[in-house]
Amino acid sequence: MSELNKIALKILEKGKGILAADESTATMTKRLSGVNVPSTPENRLIFRETLFSATGMTECIGGVILYDETIKQESSKKKKIPELISQMGSAPGIKVDTGAKILAGSPDEKITEGLDGLRERLKEYYNLGAKFTKWRGVYNISKNYPSKLSIESNAHALARYSALVQECDMVPIVEPEVLMDGDHSATDCYQKTSDVIKKCFEQLILHKVDLKGIILKPNMILAGSSSKNKISNQEVAKLTLDCLENSVPSEVPGIAFLSGGQSEIEATENLNLINKLNKTSFIMSYSYGRALQQSALRFWSKDIKNIDGTQKIFNHRAKMNSLAAQGKWSKDLEI
């Protein structure tokens, strides 16, 4: 077993998943403003340290994706944040893309940037303790989108990123996110997600990426958020499994879904059903941002000194998702 394969499997072992706490400063400012907390480096750190030092980390969180600011910060006890995460039994990871920018040639779409100087930045993150990384490609669905140009160029960038990350002995999380915004049907989502993922693997293979040493972070197959034709959770699970079984090579050890704007319960319920029906060889787990943090953030914002109360809410959400990653969740466990 390669070292990278071992890291990937450890992150997702025993119902563990990933906490995506890698919101850029701009995104975190939006989240904090939403709950009336000033977005200062100190406040961003207090919230994140509260989660990273919660007991739920040890049982339920195999990896934490950090943002550049956080990986370089120290905890209130003067401990480096990657060290705190490792001590809790979890692996520190880092978002290394520099964001999605307008795609020249198709200005309604985005291309993710960050390849220039990446090899050097990766060395720095590795030395700071990172074991894995993340890069997110983003695609919107409408009549003519995602275009061939967006599918090809984002897949190329994801593959170049992954090859560089593995060269630096870290596990790349490959995140092609087909957005749920819009009124498209679940069938459209299925088709576009399938096209996007297949192209990603074509490029990953071309760039000689070891597929046993990556984690795929896809969206679930859902009808668009403003679609009138919503589908049941059972259908979401069936379509998601079918899509991934037909587009992801079997060497890939694990799939960790993004929550993408689903509510906390919806993201847990869908993951649970996916695992109940999963006949593939893939571990199916979570790499949630909003669906792990939303309630905790709302509670914390009322009293940012209430560490215990905030951690209790986070621990619960992490536990619910960990059960869902094993197909053992049920609604009556929710409080």
Q: Which is nearer to ligand 13P, 69 or 79 (CB)?
A: 69
Whether 109 contacts 140, CB under 8 Å: yes
Rounded CA gap, 31 and 28, in Å? 5
Here's the x/- map for ligand 13P, 280-319, by CB under 6 A: it reads as: --------xxxx----------------------------
Beta bridge partner(s), residue 255: 216, 284
Q: Is 162 in the site for ligand 13P (CB under 6 A)?
A: no
Q: Minimum CB separation from ligand 13P for residue 305, in Å? A: 26
Whether 170 contacts 209, CB under 8 Å: no
Q: Which is nearer to ligand 13P, 129 or 218 (CB)?
A: 218
Q: Minimum CB separation from ligand 13P for residue 259, in Å? A: 3
Q: Which is nearer to ligand 13P, 246 or 263 (CB)?
A: 263
Q: Is 20 in the site for ligand 13P (CB under 6 A)?
A: yes
204-263 positions binding ligand 13P, by CB under 6 A: 258-260
Q: Is the peptide bond before 146 cis (omega within 30 degrees of 0)?
A: yes
Q: Which is nearer to ligand 13P, 6 or 69 (CB)?
A: 69
Q: Minimum CB separation from ligand 13P for residue 76, in Å? A: 25
Residue nearest ligand 13P, CB atom distance? 289
Q: Minimum CB separation from ligand 13P for residue 290, in Å? A: 3
The number of C-alpha atoms within 13 Å of 295 and in the hemisphere containing its C-beta is 16
Q: How many residues bind ligand 13P (CB under 6 A)?
A: 10
Q: Minimum CB separation from ligand 13P for residue 1, in Å? A: 27
Element (H, E) at 286: strand 283-288
174-193 positions binding ligand 13P, by CB under 6 A: 175
Catalytic pick among 110, 131, 134, 217: 217
Active site residue 16: no
Question: DSSP letters along 197-260, please?
Answer: HHHHHHHHHHTT--GGG-EE-PPP----TT-S----HHHHHHHHHHHHHHHS-TT--EEEE--T
Question: DSSP letters along 306-333, please?
Answer: -HHHHHHHHHHHHHHHHHHTTT---GGG
Residue 117, C-beta contacts closer than 8 angstroms, at least 6 positions apart: none
**Interface residues with ligand 13P (CB under 6 A)?**
20, 136, 175, 258-260, 288-291
Q: Which residues are catalytic?
A: 217
